[in-house]
């Protein structure tokens, strides 16, 4: 039975006052994005059509700490600090000497870490006089988080939801509408980008991004909002890791390894960057482990190159591990991990050997998630299920070696809207598509011509 | 904007060590249940076919405090203490001088207060050597809570789910299966009760209870488990109110009114009984407000009589406000409030004038829930939406009167599995069935012959 679990509760005053910017601590300065037309380094001006000045300032910030505006901290109080607990029951089930600590972001209204950036973006846009935010959403986590955030700051929110998800996840749609958001099935008839893709009715993240960007660019009162990948999004998420540091201090432990799942990278960045900073400063000896899906193994199989952030090639080129901007990942259930690239900041840490990446099949991830649900109660989202799979691996290694090991894992969200995936797993109907060498060969040929990196 | 919200975090050591038994503090001793055959007072022996001795002892306990077994407290640590926060944003939206405090039970794995009793029942049955628990579930909250609890204590869990809910709420089914439970569509072919009702394919709570009881009664290794109404269930839920007392003390406030929704009564009992006890002892001056649906207005329109707990008339008769044991409430969305009677302990407090009851239409409840979601983020379940409607009423009264008022409300669960109801509300398609005087006339004629009470 074990001891249930031990929690390390923080109060409101423990909500961080600053976001942690990893950029100044990196071994080498971050590479700039490139303008998609000129292939020259893109500066703040290139972003001003769709982002307000404060967000652009955060995107290119060079100071190690960026102050969190008080109204954003106030909004954080709705669900932060989030719980950190020791998973005694899982430890007992794995019969491991390892200590497993779980930082859980699923207690936010939208059910994941995404609102950490959504409220920051909604606030800065409201301050800049913007009246409407547009965005895309795949599985619906980011769209619902932004709808929630817009409801707090009095903004309209207009979401283009990938057609197939729109049909399969009606309750994520309902959630956005409950918070006052407008949801369009993408491709829609409302944009040129959508009308041009009308024959691809199942849609894609790339098309949805194009629609949201198009509407923001043509409406001076509207901005576009992105839920991952960019530096400012990673920055906003660092409240997670800072709280975890304080909570592990309460537990009297330092992590031997910190584990998170990686899609666009914002969850992983948020949990790990505050720890990475301490490690880079020589104040911690910690490994960092990025768990990604075998069906979309950006960090483990991708090329480190400049590539577009979207399928249509409208965004700046970013330096990242990529499977090719037109790669369409197979329909695995972790919709939040189906992205062809990764946050440049996370990629640079992988490139520098500071972060190790591992790819897992979704059936292995669901097996770990089920064991977690049946020992610790919480039903994990399919995305953090990959991180839990890595935790099981680490815990069993510790058992083999007969040595203690302190593992911290980010449980980025619950699986309340992903239970069809659990049904499929329990029925033995989950497939395990894997990215092939041939896929990569083909992708490399289609990468844009741009300066080499790495 | 307001201040976000203020939270009052407790630690594990603040999880109550005892449950509060209201029975010894009641103005008059509780009336006994009656045996359905003899109409004589039913004693502990009459319950021993389906409940283990420890549960029966809790059902008839006379001491004011009942110690919580340590393994149950350990299990509570998975999600308790639950949050209590002041809803500054809702206060601002209502422009009220009232202080609104929210005790939120939706952070449990199953998403409501139900696991508070489920883990206690699973533990006591496991201790008694029982290997399987059977139960019924309507909307799925209780079934998923019991499946979760059984996964913690190594018990099998077999759930009969009302046919129409089984079809409409596939994800609650998935949740039970994820925790290792078995879910049957009721009426099933597995029981005589089910086979006899095969023509009523949409099922009812009454049929599902009969199926679960039948299986428990014929299997010596199995017990039946009930999620509300009975004294021991109300007892288990009192951890809610005890934590709320400690949290309001942190806030330096005493409640003028405590508000909860009532279906079978366990949520209301759990929140209010610890406060009611202080009020009965003269240590608090607090009003208690029970919010129920106009479609099933047991406390406001029912007769205070002995009646069966189930539709088929197999259970003991209980003294309660009832709409008649064969009353089938219309299909409002708050499935957890569709019960023809109420916990005898709650009913006795209403009868004694200690608790006031009010009935609300579901559209009014959803309007309050939507306002809550758009100010405080959390999307409430349809059941506590009724309590929120009462909160709005109290807060606006305080504004009219220009006086402060401290309101404590129980938010018993989230609405993640009820978003279809929000869709219907937003589309203007929610209906407002109301219980009629003619309905009550008809019900009174069908009540069982039993000694008069009240």
Name the 3-class secondary structure at B341: coil
Mean pLDDT of B188-210: 88
Pick from B263, B162, B167: which is nearest to B204 by CA? Answer: B162
Residue A92 contacts B where some CB pair is shorter than 8 Å: no
d(CA B224, CA B234) in angstroms, rounded, equals 17
Contact between B210 and B193 (Cβ < 8 Å): yes
Nearest-Cα distance to chain B for A86, in Å, is 10
Task: Indicate the burial class of A371 (C-beta count within 10 angstroms; 0-12, 13-18, 19 or more).
Answer: middle
> Residue A38 burial by CB count (10 A; 0-12/13-18/19+): exposed, middle or buried?
exposed
d(CA B247, CA B254): 10
Asked if A180 lies within 8 A of B79 by C-beta distance, the reply is no
HSE-up of residue A276 (Cα within 13 Å, Cβ side): 31
Residue B33, by phi and psi: left (phi above 0), alpha (psi -120 to 50) or beta? beta
Cα–Cα distance for residue pair B338/B142, rounded to 1 Å: 14
Q: Under 8 Å CB-to-CB from B45, ≥6 apart: which residues?
A: none
Q: What part of A 338-397 touches B (C-beta under 8 Å)?
A: 370, 373-379
Angle between helices A170-178 and B362-376 (to 10 degrees): 80
Helix (H) or strand (E) holding B321: strand B317-322
Chain B environment of A105 (Cβ under 8 Å): none
Closest-CA distance, A430 to chain B, in angstroms, reads: 15
Distance from C-alpha of A286 to C-alpha of A288, rounded to nearest angstrom: 7
Inspect the interface and report whether the beta carbons of B12 and A1 lie closer than 8 Å.
Answer: no
A417 touches chain B (CB under 8 A): yes
Q: What residues of chain B lie within 8 A of the CB of A6, using their CB?
A: 12, 77
In 3D space, the residue among B142, B94, B138 whose CA is nearest the CA of residue B122 turns out to be: B142
| CA pair distance A255, A250, nearest whole angstrom | 13
Nearest to B379 among A71, A178, A426 (CB): A178
For chain A, positions 98-137, list CB contacts with chain B under 8 A: 107-109, 111
Q: Are A374 and A67 in contact (CB under 8 A)?
A: no
Query: What phi and psi, each to the nearest 5 degrees, are found at residue B359?
Result: -105, 140
CA geometry: angle B148, B153, B155, nearest 5 deg: 80
Best residue of B2, B4, B76, B378 to probe chain A, by most A CBs closer than 10 Å: B4
- Comparing CB atoms, the residue among A107, A170, A374 nearest residue B107 is A107
Confidence at residue A319, expressed as pLDDT on a 0 to 100 scale? 96
* Inter-chain CB proximity B422 and A177 less than 8 Å: yes
Which of A11, A107, A174 faces B420 most closely, judged by CB atoms?
A: A174
Chain A residues whose CB is inside 8 A of the B1 CB are 71, 74, 152-153
With a CB cutoff of 8 Å and minimum separation 6, the contacts of B200 are B163, B187, B207
CA gap A84, A86 in Å, rounded: 7
Helices A362-376 and B170-178 sit at what angle, rounded to 10 degrees? 80
Contact predicate A245/A274, CB 8 Å: yes
Judged by CB atoms closer than 8 Å, whether chains meet at B417 and A420 is answered as no
B147 phi/psi in degrees, rounded to 5: -65, -45
CA angle A267, A270, A271 (to 5 degrees): 90
Please give the pLDDT value at position B408.
Answer: 98
Q: Judge: A175–B419 Cβ closer than 8 Å, yes or no.
A: yes
Residue B157: Cβ-neighbour burial (10 angstroms; 0-12, 13-18, 19+): buried
CB-CB: which of B89, B148, B419 is closest to A174?
B419
Contacts of A166 in chain B (CB under 8 A): none
Are A423 and B9 in contact (CB < 8 Å)? no
Structure tokens at B397: 């009264």
pLDDT in tens, chain A (454 residues): 345 567 888 888 999 999 999 999 999 999 999 998 899 999 888 888 788 999 999 999 999 999 999 999 999 999 999 999 999 999 999 999 999 999 999 999 999 999 999 999 999 999 999 999 999 998 899 999 999 999 999 999 999 999 988 988 899 999 999 999 999 999 999 999 899 988 888 888 878 988 998 999 899 999 999 999 999 999 999 999 999 999 999 999 999 999 999 999 999 999 999 999 999 999 999 999 999 999 999 999 999 999 998 877 878 899 999 999 888 777 778 777 888 899 999 999 999 999 999 999 999 999 999 999 999 999 999 999 999 999 999 999 999 999 999 999 999 999 999 999 999 999 999 989 888 888 888 888 888 888 888 6
Chain A residues with CB-CB distance to B2 below 8 A: 74
Scanning A107-204, the segments in alpha helix (DSSP H) are 115-127, 141-153, 163-168, 170-178, 192-196
| Å between A118 CA and nearest CA of chain B | 13
Which range has the worst mean pLDDT, A127-136, B383-392, B437-446? B437-446
Condensed to tens digits (0 to 9), the pLDDT of residues A20-30 reads: 999 999 999 99
d(CA B149, CA B155): 8
Q: Best of A119, A122, A149, A377 to disrupt the B interface by mutation (most B CBs within 10 Å)? A: A377
B71 in contact with A at a CB cutoff of 8 Å? Answer: yes
Contact B178 A79 (CB under 8 A): no
Cα B47 to chain centroid distance, Å, stands at 21
Does A81 sit behind a cis peptide bond, omega within 30 degrees of 0 on the bond before it?
yes
Distance, in angstroms, between B122 CA and closest chain A CA?
Answer: 13
Interface test with B, best of A151, A243, A419, A421 (most B CBs within 10 A): A419
């Amino acid at each position: 039975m074990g001891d249930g679990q031990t929690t390390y509760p923080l109060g409101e005053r423990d909500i961080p006052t600053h976001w942690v910017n990893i950029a100044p601590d990196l071994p080498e300065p971050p590479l700039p994005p490139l303008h998609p037309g000129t292939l020259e380094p893109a500066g703040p001006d290139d972003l001003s059509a769709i982002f307000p000045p404060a967000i652009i300032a955060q995107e290119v910030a060079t100071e190690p700490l960026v102050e969190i505006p008080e109204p954003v901290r106030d909004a954080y109080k709705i669900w932060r600090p989030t719980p950190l607990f020791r998973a005694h029951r899982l430890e007992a089930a794995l019969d491991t000497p390892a200590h497993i600590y779980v930082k859980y972001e699923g207690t936010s209204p939208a059910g994941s870490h995404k609102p950490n950036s959504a409220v920051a973006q909604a606030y800065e846009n409201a301050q800049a006089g913007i009246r409407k935010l547009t965005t895309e959403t795949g599985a619906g986590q980011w769209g619902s988080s932004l709808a929630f955030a817009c409801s707090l700051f009095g903004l309209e929110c207009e979401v283009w939801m990938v057609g197939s998800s729109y049909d399969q996840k009606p309750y994520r749609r309902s959630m956005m509408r409950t918070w006052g958001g407008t949801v369009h099935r993408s491709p829609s008839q409302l944009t040129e980008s959508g009308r041009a893709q009308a024959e691809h009715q199942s849609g894609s993240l790339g098309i949805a991004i194009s629609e949201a960007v198009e509407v923001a660019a043509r409406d001076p009162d509207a901005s576009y909002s992105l839920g991952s990948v960019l530096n400012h999004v990673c920055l906003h998420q660092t409240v997670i890791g800072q709280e975890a540091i304080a909570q592990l201090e309460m537990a009297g432990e330092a992590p031997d390894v910190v584990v998170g799942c990686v899609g666009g990278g914002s969850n992983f960045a948020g949990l790990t960057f505050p720890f990475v900073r301490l490690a880079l400063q020589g104040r911690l000896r910690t490994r960092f482990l990025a768990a990604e899906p075998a069906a979309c193994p950006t960090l483990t199989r991708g090329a480190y190159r400049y590539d577009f952030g979207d399928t249509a090639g409208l965004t700046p080129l970013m330096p990242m591990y990529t499977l090719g901007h037109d790669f369409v990942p197979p329909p695995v259930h972790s919709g939040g991990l189906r992205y062809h690239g990764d946050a440049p900041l996370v990629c640079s840490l992988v490139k520098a050997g500071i972060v190790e990446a591992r790819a897992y099949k979704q059936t292995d991830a669901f097996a770990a998630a089920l064991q977690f649900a049946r020992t610790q109660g919480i039903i994990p989202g399919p995305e953090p299920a990959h991180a839990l799979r890595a935790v099981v691996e680490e815990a069993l290694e510790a058992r083999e070696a007969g040595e203690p090991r302190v593992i911290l894992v980010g449980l980025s969200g619950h699986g309340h809207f992903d239970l069809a995936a659990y049904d499929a797993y329990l029925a033995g109907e989950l497939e395990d598509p894997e990215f092939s060498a041939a896929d990569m060969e083909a992708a490399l040929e289609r990468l844009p011509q741009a300066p080499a990196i790495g």
